[in-house]
Amino acid sequence: MSPPRKLHIKSYGCQMNVYDAQRMVDTLAAEGFVETASVDDADLVILNTCHIREKASEKVYSELGRLRVVKDEAARLGRHVSIAVAGCVAQAEGSEIIRRAPVVDVVVGPQSYHHLPQLLARARSHGRALETEFPVEDKFGFLAPPQPDAIRARGISSFVTVQEGCDKFCTFCVVPYTRGTEVSRPVARIVDDVLRLADNGVREITLIGQNVNAYHGEGPDGRTWSLGTLLHRLAEIPGIVRLRYSTSHPRDVDETLIAAHRDLPALMPFVHLPVQSGSNRVLAAMNRKHTVDDYRRVIDRFRAARQDIAFSSDFIVGFPGETEEDFSATLALVTQIGYAGAYSFKYSPRPGTPAADMREMVTAADMDERLVRLQELIDSQQSAFNVATIGNTVDVLFERAARNPGQIVGRTAYLQPAHVMASTDIIGRVLPVRIDSLERYSLLGELAAPQPTLSQMTPSQMTFPPMTTGA
């Protein structure tokens, strides 16, 4: 038998890329590849790229420059290294990559990963291969499922893609062009994936999609299911103690999602709900299809359903035409909502998007200054949110041994990392922790009570059902 070939994969960008990378690894495992953390001993290197902002997509070419050296060095020693570019830059600039970077053997767009083995074979026989079509079939129906040991190695928390693509066409955004139109996976496939993950030790599932709450998948009853209905179904799966979803659009929050937050203790009270700007004028120019008031109303509906809910968001500063008054409206909205955290970005014009043709650019100096002001406000909200946890007892789902010997790290409902001194037996369990202090963004505490017996556990503390259901 020939020794396994080694695969090194590097992902940039969003959670969808993280998940896709795992599925590429699973698919290539079936072809005899094993993953390696080092680029130097790899036979195949995949760059899984992101096109969302200029900085992200520029990284590809500098990375390819470094890989050329690795490839030449290996060739000198008589070893062939294949280089593949995947992800959103591959989709947006596939032929340019082929033209500009002779080091690249394969370019594969995000909807064609199930064709990777054939593309690698084609590159071997024909020199190079490019595929950036949007095939009609669902790639996830064809990508190999993860093997039990791969699931266990990845830990107790897992992403599952339920929806891909976007039909919203915000004027700044490349996603509708790189990921294509919105497509939802059928409920039965998602349930199968989650059962498989749960059977192999996964306790927390984050459903992901570029526009995850636009989910409208075919249900087992022949009807179209919403995200809220899907969450209700997944909450029944033995072993799954926490559910999350990301990223949502304020326009697509329906009553089933609100009901899921009201009814499902496993659904974590932490919602990433990007608003981008607090100015109606800017929101209209962005084609966000909602106003500031619409957004506030959505937040109120969540809060009415679940009092302890907290929010995070994304913001863009310096969108073309954004005035100081528009920006102040963003600060006012942040102050009013009060976030547990948020990401903020300077506007970056993306080729092919409508906003890239808008003329009224905000100066670099104004953008920098606004970004600092916004980030200061968000940081102060985030630290107030974290400080408020000190002295409280909160549920933590333990994930893994921490770097400090003897410490185990987990996450609170709000994704705050929390460290305790304990044995590794607690990994995979939800246990109450008394929070004593905060170190930067990490909470430190101790297990609040002796571990409860099964009959004392609340459903959210159970890692396994008391009886197997045979599901």
Q: Which residues are annotated as a binding site for [4Fe-4S] cluster?
A: 14, 50, 88, 166, 170, 173
If binding is defined by CB under 6 A, does position 166 make contact with ligand SF4?
yes
Q: Which of 7, 9, 13, 334 binds ligand F3S (CB under 6 A)?
A: 13
DSSP 243-289: EEEE---GGG--HHHHHHHHH-TTB-SEEE---B-S-HHHHHHTT-S
If binding is defined by CB under 6 A, does position 208 make contact with ligand SAH?
no
Q: Which of 44, 50, 202, 342 binds ligand F3S (CB under 6 A)?
A: 50
CB proximity list for 343: less than 8 A, separation 6 or greater: 312, 313, 314, 315
If binding is defined by CB under 6 A, does position 175 make contact with ligand F3S?
yes
- Could you tell me the smallest distance in angstroms from the CB atom of residue 357 to ligand SF4? 16
If binding is defined by CB under 6 A, does position 51 make contact with ligand F3S?
yes
* CA separation for the pair 397, 241 (Å, rounded): 9
The option from ligand SAH, ligand F3S, ligand SF4, none interacting with 16 (CB < 5 to 8 A, set by class) reads ligand F3S
Q: Which of 400, 455, 440 is nearest to 155 (CA)?
A: 400
3-state helix, strand, coil in the chain (%, to 5): 40, 20, 35
The option from ligand F3S, ligand SAH, ligand SF4, none interacting with 327 (CB < 5 to 8 A, set by class) reads none
Task: Return binding residues.
Answer: 14, 50, 88, 166, 170, 173
Instruction: Show the CA angle centred on residue 321, arms to residues 318 and 324, nearest 5°.
Output: 65
For 152-180, give one letter per residue: b (16+ CB within 10 A) or e. eebebbbbbbbbbbbebebbbbbbbbbbb
* CA separation for the pair 97, 91 (Å, rounded): 10
If binding is defined by CB under 6 A, does position 168 make contact with ligand SF4?
yes
Beta partners for residue 7, in sequence order: 35, 44
- Could you tell me the smallest distance in angstroms from the CB atom of residue 377 to ligand SAH? 16
List, in sequence order, the alpha helices (H) in 347-438. 364-387
If binding is defined by CB under 6 A, does position 116 make contact with ligand F3S?
no
* CA separation for the pair 44, 6 (Å, rounded): 6
If binding is defined by CB under 6 A, does position 314 make contact with ligand SAH?
yes
If binding is defined by CB under 6 A, does position 56 make contact with ligand SAH?
no
Q: Which of 347, 413, 418, 426 binds ligand SAH (CB under 6 A)?
A: 347
The length of the chain, given as a count of residues: 471
Q: Which of 24, 85, 170, 420 binds ligand SF4 (CB under 6 A)?
A: 170
Q: Which of 88, 190, 230, 362 binds ligand F3S (CB under 6 A)?
A: 88
CB proximity list for 297: less than 8 A, separation 6 or greater: none
If binding is defined by CB under 6 A, does position 350 make contact with ligand SAH?
yes
CA dihedral for 351, 355, 358, 360, sign (positive or negative): negative
Which residues would be at the binding site for ligand SAH (CB under 6 A)? 52-53, 172-173, 175, 210-211, 247, 249, 274, 276, 314, 316, 345, 347-348, 350
Which residues would be at the binding site for ligand F3S (CB under 6 A)? 13-14, 16-17, 50-52, 87-88, 174-175, 178-179, 210
Which residues would be at the binding site for ligand SF4 (CB under 6 A)? 166, 168-170, 173, 175-176, 210-211, 249
